Amino acid sequence: MAAFGITYATLISFLMGLMTLTQIIGLSPPDQPPSWPSTFSVSFHEEQWVWIIPLARNAGAWHYDFSNKRARFDHLQGQMDNFCHGRGLELKDLRGDCHLLFNTTDMYVHYPREEKCCRACGVAEGCTVLKPTWMAGATYLGTENINGTVCHGWEADGAAARDRWYQTADGTPCRYSETIKFWPHPSHNITFNMRSFSRDPIPTSVFNIPAYCNTRCPIPWRPIA
C-alpha cells in the first residue's frame, strides 16, 4: 500500500464515495417497475395545459386503500379534471372542489361544497381502484431531480396516453404525468408533496360515499374508443 501512497482507510472512503455517486446519477436502475404500497395518502400540485397554454393549476390529494378496494382522489378549486367535468351535474362552480370516490364496483363524482354527486362509471368502463402493480411492464427512464430529490422514472403505454411515474428509491412518489398521444407535450402533470406521503392507516370516514350519491350521472363517463 505504501508504494502507491494510499492507505486502506482512503481506499474505503473512495469506494464509498463512488457507490454514493452511482446511486445519485442512477447508474444502477431498480430491478423491477414500482409497486404501490397497499395503503397511502399524499397531497400534490396539479397542472393541465394544451400545448403551452395552461388550462388549470390546483391542489389535490390521493387516498389509496387497495386492501379494501377503495380510493379517493381530490381535485381542488380550479380543477379541470376530465372525470369531474362533463357529467351533466347542475353546478354553480364547475371548477370547484371535486372528489372522485371509488368503491369495489363504482366511481362517483362528488362536489362536496355543493352537495352534488353522481355515479360516473363502474367496472364495465374500467373505473376500478388501480392495482398496486399498474406499472408492470413499464420502461425505465432513468433518474430526474424533482424539487431537489433524485427520483426514478418509468413510462408505460395506456389506451389514450403515455403514463410516466417517478418515485424515490424508498418508494415515495415524486411525480405523475401523462402525454396524450396526439399532443407533443405532457397535458397533465401531478407533482407530489413528498413530505406529506404517509403509509399510515386511513380512517374509513375518508372514503364514505354520501347518501345523496344515489343516481347515475346525466352524462356517464365513457372510455375513449
Mean pLDDT of the chain: 86
Shared domain for 118 and 43, answered yes or no, is yes
Residue 24 lies in a domain: no
C-alpha cell of 22? 452511482
Residue 110 lies in a domain: yes
C-alpha cell of 157? 403505454
Shared domain for 152 and 100, answered yes or no, is no
Number of domains observed in the structure of the chain: 2
Shared domain for 126 and 56, answered yes or no, is yes
Start-to-end CA span in the chain (Å): 69
C-alpha cell of 181? 398521444
- pLDDT-derived band at 54 (thresholds 50, 70, 90) equals confident
> Backbone phi, then psi, for 24, in 5-degree steps?
-65, -45
Task: In whole angstroms, give the CA distance from residue 98 to residue 76.
Answer: 6
Question: Residues 6 or more apart from 221 whose CB is under 8 A from it?
Answer: 83, 86, 87, 107, 120, 121, 125, 127
Of 106, 63, 76, whose CA–CA distance to 204 is shortest? 63
Shared domain for 146 and 103, answered yes or no, is no
Q: Which helix (H) or strand (E) holds 12?
A: helix 8-25
Query: For residue range 61-106, what is the model confidence (pLDDT) as tens digits?
Result: 999 999 999 999 999 999 999 999 999 999 999 999 999 999 999 9
Note the pTM of the prediction, 2 decimals. 0.84
Query: For residue range 149-187, what is the model confidence (pLDDT) as tens digits?
Result: 999 999 998 766 789 999 999 999 999 998 876 665 658
> Backbone phi, then psi, for 139, in 5-degree steps?
-90, 135
Shared domain for 101 and 157, answered yes or no, is no
